[in-house]
Amino acid sequence: MSTPVKLAVIYYSSTGTVTAIARELAQAAEKAGAEVRLLKTAELAPQAAIDSNPAWAANAAATADLPVAAPEDIEWADAVIFGSPTRFGNIASQLKQFIDTLGGLWAQGKLADKVYSGFTASATTHGGQESTLLALYNSVHHFGGILVSPGYTDAAKFADGNPYGTSHADAQGNNPVNDTTLAAARVQAERVIKIASGLKNGLAAA
């Protein structure tokens, strides 16, 4: 009998766009039968910077009770979906700092043979979305992880147009996460769980 996939959705979000995508990914994965941990990375910005932006302050308050990711969550997981807004075509320092704490697990081989995927958001159309995900995936290769991107495996992906992972352009908060982005997130979550389940149960039977 197959055992459920353990999925960690680990993300950083300042103004809430990436939070909204992360929640959809987590919900879709649960509906697909996974055991899910939805986790944020620790905030590195000073409180004054957060308070200066109403959307940033609102997201911080709305996610105050959400657990902060720890290396143990990666060790627990069969699959991990990382999320970050774009920062000059790269991932945010808050997510990078978390990834940089994983050296101990990496040295023990405990990051290898897991499924990984990623999602992102930017203020402008494109805006570094693809390069952000590609930069994130460099770490997956070093982990010895198994990268599962959504590709164009579902008609919904032709609407959102990003085969590397779910992405959204929020136009400085003027374009909330919409049905197109949410549909893309569901496709990605379902694909990650499908491949991770096959891998997990196939290895168990080997």
Q: For residue 173, is pLDDT > 80?
A: yes
Q: Is residue 192 part of a domain?
A: yes
In a domain, 108, yes or no: yes
Distance in angstroms (rounded) separating the CA atoms of residues 100 and 93: 10
Question: Which residue segment(s) compose the domain that 163 sits in?
Answer: 6-205
What's residue 94's pLDDT?
98
Strand partners, 68: 40
With cut-offs at 50, 70 and 90, classify the pLDDT of residue 74.
very high
Q: What percent of the chain stands above pLDDT 70?
A: 100
Does residue 1 register a pLDDT over 90?
no
Check residue 163 and report its DSSP letter. Answer: T
Is 77 part of a structural domain of the chain?
Answer: yes
Q: Is the pLDDT of residue 2 over 90?
A: no
pLDDT digits (tens, 9 = 90+) for 83-136: 999 999 999 999 999 999 999 999 999 999 999 999 999 999 989 999 999 999
Q: What is the pLDDT of residues 18-54, one digit of tens each?
A: 999 999 999 999 999 999 999 999 999 999 999 999 9
Q: What's the pLDDT score for residue 78?
A: 98
80 domain residue, yes or no: yes
pLDDT at 206 over 90: no
Dist. CA 122–CA 86, nearest whole Å: 5
> What is the chain's mean pLDDT, rounded?
96
Tell me, yes or no, whether 182 lies in a domain. Answer: yes
Domains of the chain: total = 1
Q: Is residue 150 part of a domain?
A: yes
User: Residue 1 falls within a domain, yes or no?
Assistant: no
Alpha helices by DSSP H, listed for the chain, are 17-31, 47-51, 54-62, 71-76, 93-99, 103-107, 129-143, 156-160, 179-205
Tell me the mean pLDDT in the region 168-197: 96
Here the CATH number for the domain that contains residue 159 is: 3.40.50.360
